[in-house]
Structure 1
Amino acid sequence: MSMIEFKLNGKPVAFDGNPLKRLLDVIRDDFGITGTKEGCGEGECGACSVLKDGKLVTSCIIPVGAVGGCEIITIEGLRDTPQGKCLVESFAEGGAVQCGFCIPGMVMAAEALLMNNPHPTEADIRLAISGNICRCTGYDLIVESILLASKKGEGLW
């Protein structure tokens, strides 16, 4: 067992356990933060996406031991920021939310994109969300919602 300290949604936390435990399981089971979902368990669907030091990662394939000293942001941590509020409102306004299972990961992918490119093209957005699978809404409404967020959130990113 090992003590792993990191920031989770801006707060210092410590996990005392197996450093090979998946970050996804630590976030959900040990810290009770459930917006991050498990879809495939293989890093292919994006439902478990979080930001690790500002970079989009799939938490289902990262051992918690790899995040010592890092900043992890989940959908819960993002949604209360001005950028997160803008993204969530834009997804709702654009009709990009149906079952909601993939949306936390899509929003995290959008945030990662807009942090680096606040004025993306449709092609930029499609590339940025290409690691996220949506089975309900379809990608056009998601792309349109991210374009809307980039316009509404002028100056946030």
Structure 2
Amino acid sequence: MRRLHPDLFDKKHPNPWDDFTLKSRTKSKKHAVTREEVYKFAWGCIKEARPEPAAVAVICFEWLQRPENVVAGFPSWPDYRSKNWPHAVRIEHHKNKSLVWHPLEEIVDGEAIKFYAEVEEILGYLPRLGVPMIMRKIER
């Protein structure tokens, strides 16, 4: 542009961006929570009659889901122990759009071994208000 319209540019400052400095910042690391912390939080929520945040916490931790996807309603009741997959939960990984059936239990010697017994216990406190697992009844 300067070449085509030299009168429009300040001759003292050939590069107008020289006066600007880019501020760089270092982000602090987020520490990973432990299983103990997640379940302490979840059972505290259950005690306070708030099963929704409890379920969000354990779903995110155990099934590696992002909170924004869980709260948006992506884990749904039809995806949890469906007729076709009674021993699994369907999980969509929103980053790469892959769908996986994640096993919840395995039958060994005729006995069911549950991989997520505590998660399923917490999910048992969730009211089934609609298709998404995470819904909250709003009192008016």
TM-score by length of 2: 0.27
More helix by share: 1
Larger radius of gyration: 2
TM-score by length of 1: 0.26
